[in-house]
Amino acid sequence: MQCVAQVEAVAGSGLLNDRYSQRRGTFSGTQAEKQAANPGRQVTLIEIEAIEGARRDGAIELDSAETRRNILTRGVALNHLVGREFLVGEEVVLRGIRLCEPCGHLEKLTREGVRASLIHRGGLRAEIVRGGTIRKGDAVCAS
């Protein structure tokens, strides 16, 4: 995982050079991946408030990169975007597919306690409806 200033979002595919857009992610090739274009693996988002909440609750010290989500947001209630389209920056349109609940694999890659600390605040899986460039600091606006 690495932080970048900008990334290209490719409609129907994912983020350019991301492990899932290149079909190299851990769950690539699974039955879930083979389902209709698998929009739930195109891009993932997480709220910085969720990470701060895990720290504040004393559950775990967690760095944002350890969540293994693509986009970090602030001030956006991601759970409310399931089933809705929203704009990221000036051109990218995403559709919230489902919550991105933490799994045992995430905990195996990080440390014990990560899964429990992010239950119901693990972020959002989204489909890229309209591609373009996503830049650090871009606003997220619900339609």
| Residues 24-74: tens digit of each pLDDT | 544 555 544 444 446 777 999 999 998 898 888 866 777 777 777 899 999
CATH value of 6-142 in 3.40.190.10, 2.40.33.20, 2.60.40.1170, 3.40.50.620: 2.40.33.20
What's the pLDDT score for residue 41?
77
**Residue that wins the pLDDT comparison between 130 and 22:** 130
What's the pLDDT score for residue 20?
54
pLDDT in tens, 15-24: 998 755 545 5
Opening angle at CA 135, ends 134 and 138, nearest 5: 90
Quick one: CA dihedral 58, 53, 8, 105, positive or negative?
positive
Opening angle at CA 23, ends 21 and 25, nearest 5: 95
Say what the pTM is: 0.81
- How does residue 80 score in pLDDT terms, banded at 50, 70 and 90? very high
Domain layout of the chain by residue ranges? 6-142
pLDDT in tens, 97-119: 999 887 666 667 767 777 777 87
What is the longest distance spanned by two Cα atoms in the chain?
Answer: 40
Residue 31 three-state SS: helix
What's the pLDDT score for residue 17?
84
What's the pLDDT score for residue 25?
47
